[in-house]
Amino acid sequence: MKNLQQAADDVGVIAETVETLGKLLDQFHAKHGAELYEKLEKVWPDAINFGGSAPKPLYELERKLTPPEDVE
């Protein structure tokens, strides 16, 4: 079960990172405007995938992987 808990923990870190990246992209847009954000999207088209509910499925997977004895 330790490996399963470690996997759950790792997915949680990934979810938090995705969530943070989405916030950073939103901040970039707010700070620098749509024109520069569009330039960012042109060099990195996947940037749009890091907003909104992107981390939600990751958090769900984290909960599913967490062994029952570790759930609060």
Q: Residue 19 is encoded by which pair of tokens?
A: 């969530």
Total count of domains within the chain: 1
pLDDT of residue 31: 98
pLDDT of residue 72: 55
pLDDT of residue 48: 84
- Cα Rg of the chain, angstroms: 16
| pTM score of the predicted model | 0.81
pLDDT of residue 1: 60
Domain with 57 in it: 2-65
Residues in contact with 44: Cβ distance below 8 Å, sequence separation at least 6, in sequence order: none
Assigned domain for 70 exists: no
Assigned domain for 72 exists: no
Could you say which residues of the chain have pLDDT below 50?
none
Q: Which amino acid is at 31?
A: K
**CA-CA distance, 30 to 32, in Å (whole number)?**
6
Assigned domain for 10 exists: yes
pLDDT of residue 66: 93
